[in-house]
Structure 1
Amino acid sequence: MGKMKEIHLVKRPETTPTNEHIQLVDAETPEQSEGEVLVKPLYISVDPYMRGRMSNTKSYIAPFELNKPLEGGAVAQVVESSHEDLAQGDIVTGMIPWAEQAVVPGDSVRKIDPSLGPLSPTLHVLGMPGLTAYFGLTDIGQPKEGETVVVSGAAGAVGSTVVQIAKIYGCRVVGIAGTEEKIDFLKELGADATINYKTENVKEALKEKCSEGVDVYFDNVGGDISDAVYPLLNKFARIIQCGAIASYNKPGDQGPRMQMHLIKSSALMKGFTVGDYQERFGEGLKRLSTWLQEEKLTYKETVTEGFENVPDAFFGLFKGENIGKQLVKVADPE
C-alpha cells in the first residue's frame, strides 16, 4: 500500500466554500476488486454544480459525503486493471474521486482514443458542458434564424459553447460576462453584442442591445442579471434555466415575482440538467465533434497545474476567475 493525497469535504458550507470546507488529506492507495480499475487522474474538471452537492439537501444527484473525497469529471489513465475491457495505460473518462489515485468500477468510465486529438476537450466542448449547451439551446431553446439569444455567464464552458451554437443557427447573440478579457473572447466567438455586468448598467444595456426584445435566454447565473432580462421577453420566448451561480452561496436568496412576465409573453421557462438527455448523448457528441472539425466551434481553457491546487481552482469559479473551461492538469499520460 502506497501513500497518496485525497481532497475531502470536511465541513458543509452555508455560503461560499473555502479551505475550511475542503482539505487535502493523506490516504493509502486503494485496492481494487474484480471489475474495478485503479486510475491516475490526468485532468480534473471543477464545475459550479458541485457546490450543490456540498449541501446535504435533496437534489438531482446525491450530496458528497463528509470526510470522503469529492468527485467530478476527469480524464485518467489506468494504472492497474481487474476489468476485462480495460488495460494498463488506457485513457478513460468518467466521474473520478479527487485523489492522486482512485479505484472506480470499470463500467463507470469510457475509454477515449488519445490519437483523436487533445484529451482535455473531453471535459468541456466534447463532454458535459458541451452537451449541456447543445441540448439546452437546441431542445428547450429551439433557436430560429434571426432570433435574439441572450446568454448569461457567456464566457464560461457552457456559455461560450451556447454563443457559438446560436451563431451556427443564425441567431443574433448578446453575451453577458464580467471582465474586458471575457468580453474580447465573446467578440472572438462572434457575439453580436456584449455586456460587461461589472462596468455597465445591465438593465439599460440590455434595453439598448436587445431593442427588438429577447426570444431565447440561456441562463447560467440567475440573480440580478436575469431580473433585468425578464421584462424584455418577446411573445413565446424560451428561458433555458441551466445554472444559478449568483444564488448558490446565498441561502434563501429570493428574486423577482416573474409570473407576470411569463404570462404577458406566453414564455416557456424550463430547468434541466444534462442527465435528462442521457439517451441522446451520442447524437450530441456527434454534432459537437463535427462542428469542432469544421472549425465552427472553438474553445478556451483555464488550466491550473497540480493536484493540490484543485480546491483553489474550484473556489475561483465563484469569483469568475476562469475564461472558458476551468481544468486542473494533474499529470501527463505515461
Structure 2
Amino acid sequence: MVIKGISPDVVTYSALIYGFCIVSQLKEAVVLLNEMVLKNINPNVYTFNILIDAFCKEGKMKEAKTMLAMMMKQGMKPNVVTYNTLMDGFCLCNEVKKAKYIFNIMVQRGMMPDVKTYSIMINGFCKSKMVDEAINLFEEMYLKNTIPDIVTYSTLIDGLCKSGRITYAWELVDEMSDRGQPPNVFTYNSFLHTFCKNHHLDKAIALVKKIQDQGILPDLYTYSTLIDGLCKGGRLKDALKVFKDLLAKGYILSVVTYTTMIGGFCNEGLFEEAFVLLSEMEDKGCIPDAVTFEIIICALFESGENDKAEKLLREMIARGLL
C-alpha cells in the first residue's frame, strides 16, 4: 500500500488493528497504534474501543485501562460502547464492584446506559450471586424506559433459577411472552438445569416435551443436561433412551455428552457398556478427554478392578492426558 504511494489512514489502521486483535496478537496491535501516533494519524474512539475490547476479553484489565487513559489524554470521550466493554471485562474477571463503579461513572458523566449495559451488569451480579442487586437494576430499566431484551430476561432468569427463586423466574417468562419476546432454548435451559440439579426429573422431562411442543428445538446442552440429571438420579434407562434418540436423529455429540453417559454406566458398575461407548465415541471422531478417562478409572478403582484401572491409566499417560 505504502509502496504504491497510498498512505494508510485511520480507517486502514483501525482495520489492521482489529485484524490483529481477533487473532489475539495484541502486541502487534499496540505497535500499530504507536505507529499511527508517530505518523500523526490520530486514532479515533472506534480504534481505542477495538483495543479495549481485546484486552478485556483476555482479562487484561490493566492494559484496557491504560488504553482508556491514553484515549482520554488525546481529548476523546469514551462512548457507551467503551463503558460497556470495560464493565463486561470486569464482570468476566469476577470484579462486579469495579464494573458497577464504571456504571456509576458513566451515569455521572451524562451517558445513558442502554439495554446492553444493563444486561452486562445483571449478568455480572447474577454470576456473583448478587441476585437482589440484579433485580434492582432490572427494575431500574423500566424507570429509565429501557426495554429489556431476550438476553436481559434470560440472564436474570438464569440467576433466579440458580438462587432457587423459580416462581419469580416463571413470572418473567410470562412477562417476556406478553412483551412480544418469547423465551428461547437458552431461557428454558436454566430451568432444566435447576430441575436436574434438584432431582426433579419428571419436571425436567416434561419441560423438554413442553419446549418441543412450542416448536423450540432443544440444543445439545439441553439433552446433555437432561442425560446428566437422569444418570445422577439413578434413571439410567431413561438417560440411555434420550442418548440413543440423539444418535438416531443424527446429532453430532460432544465429548461432554459421551462422558456423561459413560459416567452413568460407571455409576451402575456397567463397565463393559462404558468401554463399548468409549470405543464408539472415538470411531465417530469424538476424542475422549482427561475427564472421560478419570471417570472410568476412579469407578474401576472403587469397584476393585485395579488391573483395568491401571491399564487405562497407562493409556491416559500415553495419550498425554496426564
- Which of structures 1 and 2 has the larger relative contact order (alpha carbons within 8 angstroms, sep 6+)? 1
**TM-score, L = length of structure 1:** 0.25
**TM-score, L = length of structure 2:** 0.26
- Name the structure where helix makes up a greater proportion of residues: 2
Task: Specify the structure having the higher radius of gyration (Cα).
Answer: 2
